[in-house]
Amino acid sequence: MISIENLEYVYPSGRHALKNINLTIQRGEFVAIVGRNGSGKSTFAGVLSGLIKPTKGTVLVNGINTRSKKNFIELRKTLGMVFQNPENQIVFEKVRDDIAFGLRNLNFTDAEIETRIDEISKTMAIEQFTDSFELSMGQKQRVAIASVLAMNPQCIVFDEPTAMLDPKGKKDIQNIVVELHKAGLTVVYVTNVIDEVLVADRIVVIENGSIKAEFQKHELFDNIEKMKSFGLEIPLTMDLLHILKQKGIDIFVKKWAVDDVANNIFTYIEMIKDEMNA
Ligand SMILES: Nc1ncnc2c1ncn2[C@@H]1O[C@H](COP(=O)(O)OP(=O)(O)OP(=O)(O)O)[C@@H](O)[C@H]1O
Ligand SMILES: [Mg+2]
């Protein structure tokens, strides 16, 4: 789906923001991109979406070279991008106009645009939203995602989409992203919130513009020390079980959500109790 070869990006200021990046992302995969502030995550997301042209190297999205101006519409139909601040993405007063804007740029007919807006508004539960500027941050982010989804892309790149939202808003967007992935979309998700990576298939660590590590989700628990060495936070549930493991209590879990882990700890304690009573 996405193939990146020898990617370099240097800002006009001379800042070498991306260095020798090679990465392949399969169709339907969910890849989390993590790294410290200033490591190059947003630049990377910008390059994937074609907004930033590589200084060197090639980025192909479904075979479309992101460098090509000629293929920009094709690229937009294939890959959408959602930013941290929905206010940078929403330009029109009316929600419907905002969703229509992207579609109009892609040369959809008026009738098709209306149908698509109706469909996506229903899916995203934003039918009752009318005036963009009267919405909360979380609601605006849902509109921003709807605008992208209306184009029916195969892949969405998110750049810290929950950073400006309250806990409920964060949860809503996280659930939407998980559903999109389940529905078959390829998801590239830039985040600094480590708990959010737990839904990804693969975690890519960027440091100082380069890929420094890659983990499949199931490898994360065994690489906690390495993750910490990159200045990354560890999901609390993983940290807890890691500390217990160091103390000789090895509890096996498959899922890292708090209730799953609590249930596993409970089962473990019950088992110990039974053994003591036996
Ligand atoms: N428009 C720009 N012009 C020049 N340098 C830039 C520009 N945007 C970013 N940079 C620099 O490029 C590097 C990577 O920035 P980038 O925004 O990609 O990092 P990031 O990982 O997204 O950081 P954050 O976690 O803070 O969002 C940083 O050193 C930054 O200062
Ligand atoms: Mg950023």
The pLDDT tens digits of the residues spanning 118-136 come to: 999 998 999 999 999 899 9
Is the pLDDT confidence value at 266 over 90? yes
Is the pLDDT confidence value at 182 over 90? yes
Is the pLDDT confidence value at 197 over 90? no
Which residue's entry shows tokens 């920009």? 72
Nearest CA to ligand 1 atom 6: 11
Q: What is the mean pLDDT of residues 134-152?
A: 92
Within 10 A of 223 (CB to CB), how many other CB atoms are there? Answer: 16
Do residues 199 and 178 make contact, with C-beta atoms less than 8 angstroms apart?
Answer: yes
pLDDT of residue 233: 82
pLDDT of residue 134: 92
pLDDT of residue 60: 97
* Closest-lying ligand 1 atom to the alpha carbon of residue 44: 18
Residue positions counted in the chain: 278
Pocket of ligand 1 (CB under 6 A): 11, 13, 15, 17, 35, 37-43, 192
Within 10 A of 216 (CB to CB), how many other CB atoms are there? Answer: 10
Do residues 190 and 43 make contact, with C-beta atoms less than 8 angstroms apart?
Answer: no
CA–centroid distance, 42 to ligand 2, in Å, is 4
pLDDT of residue 196: 85
CA–centroid distance, 146 to ligand 1, in Å, is 27
Is the pLDDT confidence value at 169 over 90? no
Share of the chain above pLDDT 70, in %: 100
Share of the chain above pLDDT 90, in %: 73
Nearest to 160 by CA among 278, 41, 273, 68: 41
Q: What is the mean pLDDT of residues 214-222?
A: 89
pLDDT of residue 193: 79
Give Dmax (Cα) for the chain: 74
Q: 201 pLDDT band (50/70/90 cuts)?
A: very high
pLDDT of residue 234: 84
Helices (H), 14-129: 41-48, 72-78, 95-105, 110-123
Is the pLDDT confidence value at 148 over 90? yes
User: How far apart are alpha carbons 195 and 202 in whole angstroms?
Assistant: 14
The lowest-confidence range among 9-13, 122-126, 184-188, 192-196 is: 192-196
CA–centroid distance, 159 to ligand 2, in Å, is 7
What element of type H or E holds 226? helix 224-229
Q: Concatenated DSSP letters for 163-180? A: TTS-HHHHHHHHHHHHHH
